[in-house]
Amino acid sequence: MKGMMMHQPLLVSEILEFGAGAYPKAEIVSVRTEGDIHRETLVEFRERTIQLAHGLKAHGVELGDRVATLAWNGYRHMELYYAISGIGAVCHTINPRLSAEQMIYIVNHAEDKVLFLDTTFVPLIAAVKDHLPKDMTYVIMTDKAHMPDAPFEALCYEDLLEGQPTEIEWPLFDEETACGLCYTSGTTGNPKGALYSHRSTVLHGMMMSVMQTTTFNEGLSVLPVVPLFHVNAWGLPYSSLLSGMNMVMPGPALDGESLFKLMDQEKVFSAWGVPTIWQGLLGEIEKQGRKPEGFGDVVIGGSAAPRSMIEAFEKMDVSVGHAWGMTEMSPVGTHGIMPKWMENEPFDTRIDYKSKQGRRCFGVELKLVDEDGNRLPHDGKAVGELYVRGNTVVSGYFKNEEASAKALDSEGWFGTGDVATIDPNGFLSIQDRAKDLIKSGGEWISSIDLENIAMAHPAIAQAAAIGVAHPRWDERPILVAVAAEGAEKPDLDEVREHLSEHFAKWQLPDDVVWVDSIPLTATGKFSKLNLRKQLADYKHPELRETA
C-alpha cells in the first residue's frame, strides 16, 4: 500500500527560498577580488541570484546547459551556484589548479556554453582560450569600474544583473535533473565528471545539517576555506542556508595571517578546510598568542588530519571534526563528532578517536571487502577496501562509459580506492590508499601520468611516482627511477623540465631517487606498497635541510 503524501521534487531553488525566508538576516560576507569586503543578507542574495537567473536566460542558457565557473569563494560564486541550478542548468565548477591540458579537456568534455571567471583568472583563460569551444560566452565576475582589459571578448557580471526583475517563478522539473558537475582526477587518463542531481544535492545538504551538531547553528558564522571550485565546498553552500548560518568567504588570500584577521574580524565560529590550510593558521595563532575571537569549531578533511594538529586545536577549545569523503560522494561520507559517552574519557583517548575519520552520515552505507570481494567485519581490526552506497554517491561518470562501467561492484557499491578499518563503535579509520594518486595540499596528482611521461625521457628506463610525507603539503611527489642502460642520468631540473609540458608546476616531483630496480607485484606492476616500505627512511629534501 502506498502512502498518501504529496510529492514535491527536491530542488536546489527551494533551499534558496527557504534560507531567505527563514533566515532573512543571515549574511554572506566576502573578501572581494576588488580588495574590499562585501556583505549581503540572504534576502539580498536571493534577489541578486534571481536577477542573475534572468540574465542567464537572456543570454540563452537553457535546461541542461553547462555553465562553468572559475572563481574563488565569494558571493558572486554563490549566486552562480543557485542561479544556474535554479533554472535547470548545470553549474560546472573548474579547479584553477589544474594543468592547462586538463582544463582544456574538461571544458571541452563538459561542452560548457558560458564561462564565468574572476578577474584573477583572465591571464589563465587568455592562455588556453584558443583551445576552448569557439562559441563560448565569457563573463568576468566584477562590476564595470573594475573590468580588466581582457585580451578576449567578455561580458561584465554586474551588467547581466542590471535591470533584471527581482522575482521569479522557479521552474519545477524532475528532481533527478543534473544541477552540478565537478571533475576528479583519474588514476589514469583524463579527469572524470561527477554529475550531481538536485535530489542528491538537497539530500546531502540536509544530511550534513542533521549530522554536524557542533557546526550548524543559526546566527553563527562559518568560513569555507575549502573552495567552491572543489566538490561544492563540501556542501556548505547548501547546509549553511538550511541552518541559517552566516557565510564568510575568504576570496583568494588563504595564508594564516589573512585567515586569522578575517576570522577575528567576523567572529567566525566554524572553519572548514584541508590540513595544509590549518598548518598556516596554527602558525599565526602561535605568533599572536591567541586564537581568533569566537573560533570554536574546525572541520578538517580531504587528507588525514595529523594527530598533533587535532591536539593543538582541542587544547585551545576548538572542537575538531575530522571528516572523510570524495568528489564522487558529494562529498561528505563520515564525520568525527565524539559520541556523548566519550565526553569523560581521558584527553588522549578522545584525541585517538578524533584522529579516526568519524562515523558515517545518515544515508551513506560503508562496507569493507577483501581482495576477493568478501565482506570483512567492522571489528576495528580487519583491513579492507572501502565501498560506499547511498543517494549522494555517483552511479557512474558524465559521458564516460568506460569509467562508469568500472565504478560500481556487482552489488552496486562504489569502490573508494581507500583502505580502512571500521570499529564496533562505527568509527572509520583510513589506513592506506589503493588508488595510484598522490594528494598534495588537498589536490590530486596522478602518479601513473607522472610515470608514463617520465618514462618517455630517453635516459629513463623505469619510473615510479610515490607520495612522501611533507609537513606543509601533507604529501609531495617524488620519482623513483632506473636509468636507461648507458645513458647519463638527467638531473632533477631536466626531469622537471621534461614533465612540465604536461603538468602544472606544483604537480612536478620534488626529487628523483635513482635505483637499480623497482619492486614489482605478482602481476608485474610497480609495487607501491613495497616501494614505500623500501623508502621508509627517505626524507623529503626540505626535511633533510632542516634536520
Minimum distance from residue 74 beta carbon to ligand ADP (Å): 20
Compute how many residues bind ligand ADP; rule: CB under 6 A. Answer: 22
Q: Three-class SS of residue 209?
A: helix
Torsion sign (Cα): 265, 271, 276, 279: positive
Grid cell listed for 356: 579516526
State which residue, 235 or 250, has the beta carbon closest to ligand ADP.
Answer: 235
Minimum distance from residue 309 beta carbon to ligand ADP (Å): 12
- Residue 303 backbone dihedrals phi, psi, to 5 degrees: -150, 165
| Interface residue with ligand ADP, options 97, 322, 335, 470 (CB under 6 A) | 322
Minimum distance from residue 231 beta carbon to ligand ADP (Å): 5
Q: Alpha-carbon distance 232 to 182, whole Å?
A: 8
Residues 246-275 that bind ligand ADP (CB under 6 A): none
Minimum distance from residue 184 beta carbon to ligand ADP (Å): 5
Q: Determine if 227 is a binding residue for ligand ADP (CB under 6 A).
A: no
Question: Catalytic site residue 184?
Answer: yes
Q: Determine if 327 is a binding residue for ligand ADP (CB under 6 A).
A: yes
Minimum distance from residue 433 beta carbon to ligand ADP (Å): 5
**Which among 357, 319, 346 is positioned nearest to 213, based on CA atoms?**
319
State which residue, 51 or 446, has the beta carbon closest to ligand ADP.
Answer: 446
State which residue, 233 or 481, has the beta carbon closest to ligand ADP.
Answer: 233
Report H helices in 380-520: 401-407, 447-454, 492-499
Grid cell listed for 546: 632542516
- Residue 67 backbone dihedrals phi, psi, to 5 degrees: -120, 120
Strand 443-446 to strand 178-184: parallel, antiparallel, or no bridges (unpaired)?
unpaired
| Interface residue with ligand ADP, options 33, 164, 215, 416 (CB under 6 A) | 416
Give the position of cell 590549518. 278
Give the position of cell 549522494. 392
User: Quick one: which segment of 18-26, 51-59, 134-142, 416-424 binds ligand ADP (CB under 6 A)?
Assistant: 416-424
Q: Which of 184, 201, 214, 276 is catalytic?
A: 184
- Burial level of 424, CB count in 10 A (0-12/13-18/19+)? exposed
Minimum distance from residue 112 beta carbon to ligand ADP (Å): 21
Question: Catalytic site residue 444?
Answer: yes
Q: Which amino acid is at 217?
A: N
State which residue, 170 or 183, has the beta carbon closest to ligand ADP.
Answer: 183
User: Quick one: which segment of 66-74, 137-145, 243-251, 322-330 binds ligand ADP (CB under 6 A)?
Assistant: 322-330
Give the position of cell 571544458. 107
| Interface residue with ligand ADP, options 19, 256, 325, 467 (CB under 6 A) | 325
Minimum distance from residue 386 beta carbon to ligand ADP (Å): 8
Q: Which of 113, 291, 356, 439 is catalytic?
A: 439
**What does each C-alpha distance from 381 to 355, 364, 368 come to in angstroms?**
16, 21, 11
| E strand intervals along 409-489 | 414-422, 428-433, 437-440, 443-446, 460-470, 474-483
Q: Compute the CA torsion angle 144, 149, 151, 155 (nearest 10 deg).
A: 0
Q: Determine if 279 is a binding residue for ligand ADP (CB under 6 A).
A: no
User: Quick one: which segment of 28-36, 73-81, 390-398, 410-418 binds ligand ADP (CB under 6 A)?
Assistant: 410-418
Residues 165-184 that bind ligand ADP (CB under 6 A): 184
Q: Determine if 232 is a binding residue for ligand ADP (CB under 6 A).
A: no
Q: Which of 27, 79, 266, 328 is catalytic?
A: 328
Q: Which helix (H) or strand (E) holds 237?
A: helix 236-243
Binding pattern to ligand ADP, positions 182-201, x when CB under 6 A? --x-----------------
Contacts of 130 (CB under 8 A, 6+ apart): none
Do the beta carbons of residue 499 and residue 487 sit within 8 Å?
Answer: no
Q: Determine if 442 is a binding residue for ligand ADP (CB under 6 A).
A: yes
Minimum distance from residue 187 beta carbon to ligand ADP (Å): 11
Can you spell out the DSSP letters for 349-392? HHHHHHHS-BEEPTTEEEEEE-TTS-B---SSS--EEEEEEETT
| Interface residue with ligand ADP, options 205, 273, 302, 384 (CB under 6 A) | 302
Q: Which of 234, 324, 413, 444 is catalytic?
A: 444
| Interface residue with ligand ADP, options 201, 303, 330, 446 (CB under 6 A) | 303
Q: Alpha-carbon distance 90 to 180, whole Å?
A: 5
Minimum distance from residue 314 beta carbon to ligand ADP (Å): 16
What's the order of all strands across the beta sheet hosting 359-360? 37-41, 27-31, 246-249, 221-224, 270-273, 297-300, 319-325, 332-335, 359-360
Do the beta carbons of residue 26 and residue 213 sit within 8 Å?
Answer: no
Q: Alpha-carbon distance 279 to 174, whole Å?
A: 43
Grid cell listed for 198: 538536485
Binding pattern to ligand ADP, positions 419-438, x when CB under 6 A? -----------x--x-----
State which residue, 16 or 332, has the beta carbon closest to ligand ADP.
Answer: 332
Minimum distance from residue 247 beta carbon to ligand ADP (Å): 18
Residues 339-358 that bind ligand ADP (CB under 6 A): 357
Q: Alpha-carbon distance 154 to 138, whole Å?
A: 5
Q: Determine if 301 is a binding residue for ligand ADP (CB under 6 A).
A: yes
Grid cell listed for 362: 545518515
| Interface residue with ligand ADP, options 272, 324, 387, 503 (CB under 6 A) | 324
State which residue, 383 or 487, has the beta carbon closest to ligand ADP.
Answer: 383
Q: Determine if 359 is a binding residue for ligand ADP (CB under 6 A).
A: no
Q: Alpha-carbon distance 238 to 241, whole Å?
A: 5
Note the residues at the interface with ligand ADP (CB under 6 A).
184, 231, 301-304, 322-327, 331, 357, 416-418, 430, 433, 439, 442, 444
Question: Which residues are catalytic, by number?
Answer: 184, 328, 439, 444
